Amino acid sequence: MGTVELAAVGKMIREGTEERWILKGIDAVIEKGELALVLGPSGSGKTSLLTIIAGFVQPSEGDVWIFGRRLSDLHDQDLQSIRACRVGFIFQNFLLIDCFSGWQNAQMSLRFAGFGRADARRRAKEIFADLGISALGPRKASVMSHGERQRVAVARALAASPELILADEPTGSLEREQGAKVIGTIHAYVKERGATAIVASHDGRLAALSDRTLELKDGHLFQGTGGRK
């Protein structure tokens, strides 16, 4: 069984009096040690797919398994524990707290994962050092550039050593070289730790940096032509 499995997953939304299926009959298995890139234009359902995998939103039909457990069988407390301790999130708009330093943003995530205050401080400094961004640790998020905020968001996501990384347009606001570095960091982490990453993006140039490419089109998920596999 893969880290993430999707079986006939569909999602319907209502727009006024009309109903629209944004995801239709999606089947996929994302394996341990794999970075899978989900490609699709804006509005294709990429974010909806990630939120369903994370258990934030329920599918209208079908089933999702994560770490061998079906999400519909889990209580809210179990889901919250899995998200805090085993899943790292990289959000499209960073979601950093502006008045916090880089270290403090990472520490908050670690505290949710059950780290004590001292251990959270130590681990935050450690992951910033590992990623070569120690200079960003004491700086307030409010004065960081887009690229700096994104690197801090990656550090925050990796700080608790998650088994699964869910990244929504992690390079959307970055230049090509900066974006390649972000994906390279995530890919290296996946290979070193035997973790899994699902990266949603509209940028087809990232295909060469992924292990496998999947494409969302008209609500359906297809095997892409890019990737290292």
Model confidence pLDDT, tens digit, residues 148-194: 998 999 999 999 999 999 999 988 767 788 888 889 999 999 999 99
Classify residue 13: in a domain, yes or no.
no
What stretches of the chain show up as alpha helix (H) in DSSP?
46-53, 76-86, 102-112, 117-130, 146-158, 176-193
Q: Mention every residue, 6+ apart, whose C-beta is less than 8 A from residue 220.
A: 24, 25, 26
Per-residue pLDDT at 42: 87
Strand partners, 201: 39
Classify residue 2: in a domain, yes or no.
no
Confidence of residue 17 (pLDDT cuts 50, 70, 90): confident
Classify residue 99: in a domain, yes or no.
yes
For residue 213, the enclosing domain spans 30-59+68-223
Reported pTM: 0.93
- Name the phi and psi angles at 103, rounded to 5: -60, -45
Classify residue 73: in a domain, yes or no.
yes
Average pLDDT over residues 67-86: 94
Classify residue 18: in a domain, yes or no.
no
Task: For the sheet with 18-30, list strands across it.
Answer: 18-30, 4-15, 61-66, 69-70
> Which of 54, 157, 142 lies closest to 108 in space, CA to CA?
157
State how many domains the chain has: 1
Q: Quick: pLDDT tens for 185-224.
A: 999 999 999 999 999 998 888 889 899 999 999 999 998 7
**One-letter amino acid of 49:** L
Distance CA 32, CA 139 (A): 35
The CATH number for 166's domain is 3.40.50.300
Classify residue 86: in a domain, yes or no.
yes
Classify residue 54: in a domain, yes or no.
yes
Classify residue 1: in a domain, yes or no.
no
Tokens of 226: 């890019």
